[in-house]
Structures are given as structure tokens and as C-alpha cells.
Amino acid sequence: MFDARRFMVKEKVKFLASHNTYNIFDGDTSEEIGIAEEKIGVLTQVLRWFVSKQLMPTAVEVRGLPGNELIFTIRRGWYLFQSRVEVHDNQGEMIGYFKSKILSWSGGFYVYDKNDKQFAEVRGNFIGFTYRVLTPDHAVELGVVSKKWGGVVKELFTSADTYMVEVAEDLRDQTVAKTLVLAAALATDMIFKSESRTAGNDLLDLGG
């Protein structure tokens, strides 16, 4: 799966669904190489009909195809004012985590490695859905997450989105770094974007 440097992440259209699922494709060959799916219990699925899902814990498993092997997992606990989203490898060991920004005007969050050292900052913008993954000093771009529109009708009548995740050439052989960049893209859509909507910040944090 991590032989690819560009990933297309496409949300599956599910009406009245209690959890999200995404297909992951090689951005250069269009071959399906993975799937990301929320894994929550039955009780949590039921509670989501009565309690905002953005306030509840969630876990997202990313599996490679065709073997369906676990690649990494994204986990978030209860949300109050600031999220901590952890990324675990296929052995359950944490390799890094994300912390959401407080009162951000343009969206984004901070990325840390397992030793609490800041690895990157994910920064949004005011036009559409584009996020840049930068080194802490903003000097080097590690990746870009951009939205690919699926057509006006699709966007109006479903919540399905498609994103392109491009990892810097220098990270081609760095599996942990590529994992954190891809996990950041999934977290942006599945976790942080939803939180900003819940907080009523859509006009301040477009797509963030």
C-alpha cells in the first residue's frame, strides 16, 4: 500500500449510515489499494442517533488490499474542547498523535511523533478544501491534501467527498512519515471537520 506516493481517498455513499467508510486508491494508477472504516460498537452506533457523534470516541481502521491486512488505526477519545487523535501501527503501538488547534481561523492541527516531538503542522486555507502538511518551522512541505469534487449533483445530495493526498518525494521510503500524512488526511475529514461543524465554525473554518 505504501508503495504509492499519491493517494485518492473516496468516501462511500451510505444513506442513514452510523459510521464512515472510505476507499483508498493509488493516485497515479487508480488501483484500489486500501479501505478505511470506522469501527465502533453497537451501543455507540445506537447512541449516535441521540448524541452528537463528534462528542463520542471513535476508531478508524485502515487496511491494505487485496489481502485486507491491518496497516494502521486512528483513535480518538471523548471530545470536549481539544481533540487528541492517536495513530497506532498494526501491532497496536502508537507511532504519533494529532492535537486540534483551539480557535483556529483556517483549520488544521498539530502532528507529534510517539516521543511528543512535533513532526508537522497541518494548515488549512479559506478557499475550498486544501491542507498543507508542513514541518514545524513551515520551511518544508511534507504533503498536500486537496478536495476533488465529484460533481454538483453528488455534492448537493450526498455527503460523499473525494480527496487527493500527495506525499513529498523525500518521504517516499519513510513509512512512518507517510502513515502520519495519510492518517492526517483521514482525520481532517472524519474527525476534525466534523468537530468544527458541531462547534458552528463552518464560516470560519471552511472544510476544516
pLDDT tens digits for range 91-132 = 999 999 998 876 555 567 899 999 999 999 998 765 567 889
Asked whether the beta carbons of 63 and 79 are under 8 A apart, the reply is no
Residue 134 pLDDT = 95
Q: What is the pLDDT of residue 41?
A: 64
What band does 36 get if pLDDT is binned at 50, 70 and 90? Answer: very high
**b vs e for 153-163, b when ≥16 Cβ sit within 10 Å of the residue's Cβ?**
eeeeeeeebbb
Over pLDDT 90: what percentage of the chain? Answer: 44
> Is the peptide bond prior to 136 cis by the omega test (within 30 degrees of 0)?
no
DSSP strands (E only) in 6-57: 6-11, 21-26, 32-38
Domain extents in the chain: 6-198
- Of 103, 59, 95, the residue nearest 77 (C-alpha): 59
> Average pLDDT of the chain?
78
pLDDT of 177 reads 92
More confident residue, 160 or 100: 100
Which burial class, exposed, middle or buried, applies to 71 when counting CB atoms under 10 A from its CB (0-12, 13-18, 19+)? buried
Residue 204, classified by CB atoms within 10 Å of its CB into exposed (0-12), middle (13-18) or buried (19+), is middle
Q: Quick one: average pLDDT of 37-65?
A: 73
Q: What is the predicted pLDDT for the residue at 2?
A: 86
Q: What is the reported pLDDT for 84?
A: 86
DSSP-derived secondary structure letter, 37: E
CATH number of 6-198: 2.40.160
CA 73, 76, 82, 84 dihedral sign is: negative
Which of 128-132, 154-158, 177-181, 195-199 is predicted most confidently? Answer: 177-181
Residue written as cell 478505511? 36
* In the predicted structure, residue 79 carries a pLDDT above the cut 70: no
171 contact partners, CB below 8 Å, separation of at least 6: 142, 143, 177, 178, 181
pLDDT band of 54, cuts 50, 70, 90:
low
64 — pLDDT class (breaks 50, 70, 90)? very high
Please give the distance of CA 149 from its chain centroid, rounded to a whole number.
17
Please name the amino acid found at residue 22: Y
